[in-house]
Structures are given as C-alpha cells and as structure tokens.
Amino acid sequence: MIGMKKKTQVLALENDLLVDLTFHSIPAALLSEFVEKIVKPYYKGNMNAAIQDLLQKTLTEQNFVQSHIRSGEV
C-alpha cells in the first residue's frame, strides 16, 4: 500500500506541472480544419482547451483498448 501512496503523490505533483508545447511541420490546412471544425464550435476558440481535451480523450481511449486486450489474454 505504501507504493500506491507514493504513486498518488507523484501524480498529484505532475498535475500541477504546466508544460509549453511546440508543434513542428503540421500542415496549415490540417490546423485550419481542426480550428474550424473543433476549436471554434466546441471550445469557443480556445485552442489550449481543445488540445488538452484531445490528449485526455486519447489517453482514456488507449486505456480502454489496453484493458480489453489484457482481459482477453489468458
């Protein structure tokens, strides 16, 4: 149980850490389409919130897939 407490403390610290992120070589058309179809209508133009949500949803989906793969293994 001690290991779990340590992991929880580390995760709490990571949640407080903010990172600046730079993207390179993203096609302008792809970025424009993302802004028009996702950022403007669903996030009121807040690109930061849209990227955060996209990352979180991707991680949640990955966890779901991984849990189903593991549960299928014997």
State pTM to two decimals. 0.67
6 is written with which tokens? Answer: 């340590």
* pLDDT above 50 for 69: yes
List, for residues 2-42, the tens digit of each pLDDT value. Answer: 555 666 666 666 667 888 989 899 999 999 999 999 999 99
* pLDDT above 90 for 71: no
pLDDT classification of 59: cutoffs 50, 70, 90: very high
38, 50 contact by CB (below 8 A) = yes
